[in-house]
Amino acid sequence: MRESRFPIVMLGLALLFLVGPFVVVFISAFSGDRTLAFPPSSFSLQWFAKVLTVEAFQASFVTSLWLGVLSTLLALLMGIPVAYALARYQVPGAEVIRVILTSPLILPALMVGLALLRYFVLIGNNSISIGLLIGHTALLLPYAVRVVSASLANLPRDIEDAAMSLGANRLQTFFRVVLPNIRGGVAAASVLAFITSFNQVPVSLFLTGPGVSTLPIQMLLYMEYTYDPTIAALSTLLILFSILFVLLTERLLGISKYV
């Protein structure tokens, strides 16, 4: 019986739909033209060199980097205990709490950004950097809770009971038994949270201000006034960075089974 080629064709179309835009950006990054166009009439590496000379990109890259690292650490510091409490204790209204923790993921990102702007910046009168840090942490907390919860669900409680029966208290059991056994889930949550923070646009758009801007927001501002292939070159570098980062962590930690 002859096999149908329809699934293969649909797979090819799906890949073309998903990968096609990135291929266009990648090819445009090597354009020798003065404006962003596809297909390019000539090829050059000059726009990759220009990326390294734009001071706004350098400053915003540093901002995105420290913001991603700190917000990921804060989200994990809060999310791991929350996930443990929801997984191991009879918390009243646990399902409601899970829905609330998931709300930043299911609500429109612009709505989340506006709410954070009103709550953390205007009412709290915080600086722009602090507002960005709090906002990104709030956005990343659901990722930490959900991924770590999945790891805890696969960890038998018998291991903890055995540790406590041998004399360890609850805190010692958590740090010496539970945490080492869910380190893969913690690593997966860290990678997912960092990439989400680094590439975040809607929330950062509301919380950035004079003198402080993340890299994606700076790229949007650059395109308002300049339409050369510099943005395509920078986008290509960020795509390669993200792919290499995920592949490296997958090879070292095997995070795919947690996300």
Is residue 14 included in any domain, yes or no? no
Name the nearest CA neighbour of 26 among 226, 233, 227, 222: 233
**Number of folded domains that form the chain:** 1
Is residue 48 included in any domain, yes or no? no
Is residue 20 included in any domain, yes or no? no
DSSP letter string, 67-95? HHHHHHHHHHHHHHHHHHHHHHS--TTHH
Is residue 4 included in any domain, yes or no? no
Residue 232: per-residue pLDDT: 85
Is residue 113 included in any domain, yes or no? yes
Residue 164: per-residue pLDDT: 80
Give me Rg for the CA atoms of the chain. Answer: 22
Is residue 36 included in any domain, yes or no? no
Is residue 143 included in any domain, yes or no? yes
Name the nearest CA neighbour of 230 among 65, 36, 63, 41: 36
Alpha-carbon span 170 to 191, nearest angstrom: 28
CATH number of 152's domain:
1.10.3720.10
Is residue 31 included in any domain, yes or no? no
Q: Which residues pair with 31 in a beta bridge?
A: 43
Q: Which domain holds residue 150?
A: 54-257
CA-to-CA dists, residue 24 to 33, 155, 226, 233, 235, angstroms: 15, 44, 19, 11, 11
Alpha-carbon span 143 to 124, nearest angstrom: 25
Residue 147: per-residue pLDDT: 86
Residue 1: per-residue pLDDT: 47
Q: pLDDT per position in the chain (259 positions), as tens?
A: 456 677 888 888 888 888 877 888 888 888 877 777 777 777 888 888 888 888 888 888 888 999 999 999 999 999 888 888 888 887 787 778 887 887 777 777 777 778 777 776 666 666 778 888 888 888 888 888 888 888 888 887 878 778 788 777 788 888 888 888 888 888 888 888 888 888 888 888 887 777 788 888 888 888 878 778 888 888 888 888 888 877 777 676 665 555 5
Neighbours of 211 (CB within 10 A): 9
Collapse the DSSP code of 18 into the 3-class scheme (helix H, G, I; strand E, B; otherwise coil) and give the result. Answer: helix
**Which amino acid is residue 67, in one-letter code?**
L
Residue 71: per-residue pLDDT: 92
Alpha-carbon span 74 to 199, nearest angstrom: 18
Name the nearest CA neighbour of 187 among 242, 153, 139, 143: 143
Contacts of 168 (CB under 8 A, 6+ apart): 176, 177
Is residue 203 within 8 A of residue 112, CB to CB? The reply is yes
Burial 26-44 (b: 16+ CB within 10 A, else e): bbbbbbebeebeeebeeee
